[in-house]
Amino acid sequence: MSIDAKEEAAVALTGRQPRPAGSNPKVKPGGYLLMALAVGAMILPMVWMLLASFKERDEIYTVPIQWLPERFDLSNYMAALDAVPFGNFFINSLITTLVGATLKIALGLTTAYAVVFLEFPGKKFVFALVVFALLVPQQIVIIPNYTLISDLGWINTYRGLILPGLASAFGTFLFRQHFLTLPVSILEAAALDGASHWTRLWRFVVPISAPTIAAVALVSIVSEWNEYLWPLLVVDKAEMMTLPVGLTLLQNNDGVTNWGVLMAGTVLITVPVLIVFFLLQRRIVTGLTSGAVTG
């Protein structure tokens, strides 16, 4: 097919005339300015946090603001590591994040698969419950969950930290919307070959759903890693605290808060999440927008 024929076909399908060669869309400086302001509002606090972690106490309170420290050293980081058991906090956060995020993804996948590809009574009602759960603030269920965990004797345990937050309505909803866009013929062919639902899920559905899984994984990892209120309620022993809760010990360690040490501790908490984000960033947008127009 010639180039002219291809252009005519594209116009017939899209209803849009091709853009003349060498022409550029109109640049809107106002839009770029707003974007730059939004990015600055998000980035500047993180830059300040990083720079403040290298400053002496007097440098943080200078007027006008002194952005760069006089010298870059790791004294604040050493003080933070010496003041509280960051090693225990990191292990606890790592365990709760890996186990909690993995179980959230597994439960979301299996629930969404059942809602989309299985026929059973009350199927629409189950999905309605999932949507309703998205509208309920998590703070509402904190007291019932705490009462249950306390009655079970799971205070200061990994079970008490992890199990109450395993039901992920967001993950189930996102997986369900994505599964509706998958070609049913592939699963029908697998069923004719004798593949069970478990085989169809893990050998066919999961491999072609990698972007959506990455998006749900990132949201789950960030939420588990940064969770503060629930671990604060169910843990009162330092050896079981996670990083966000342990940071409060660092803040309360002195009569006057040493912000340089506190910022160093905050950097230590933030860096692992940033690493995960940069590893998964290519798949995040694709995963979040997959199935966006599906009913």
User: What's the whole-number mean pLDDT along residues 145-158?
Assistant: 93
Mean pLDDT of 158-162: 93
Q: What is the DSSP letter of 237?
A: S
Cβ–Cβ < 8 Å for 80, 53: no
What pLDDT, on the 0 to 100 scale, is given for residue 253? 53
Domains of the chain in start order, with CATH, are 78-289 (1.10.3720.10)
Higher pLDDT, 293 or 82: 82
Return the pLDDT at 71: 85
Q: What residues have CB less than 8 Å from 282, skipping those under 6 apart? A: none
The pTM (predicted TM-score) of the whole model is 0.79
DSSP symbol at 209: G
pLDDT digits (tens, 9 = 90+) for 83-137: 888 889 999 999 999 999 999 999 999 999 999 988 888 888 888 888 888 888 8
Gap between the Cα atoms of 259 and 188, Å rounded: 60
pLDDT at 230 over 90: yes
Name the band, by pLDDT with cuts 50, 70 and 90, for residue 20. low
Distances, alpha carbon 279 to alpha carbons 166, 215, 273, 284, in Å: 24, 11, 10, 10
The tokens 């909690």 sit on which residue? Answer: 100
Residue 159: pLDDT over 90: yes
Average pLDDT score, the chain: 82
Question: In sequence order, which residues have a C-beta less than 8 Å from that of residue 166 and are 6 or more positions away?
Answer: 100, 103, 104, 107
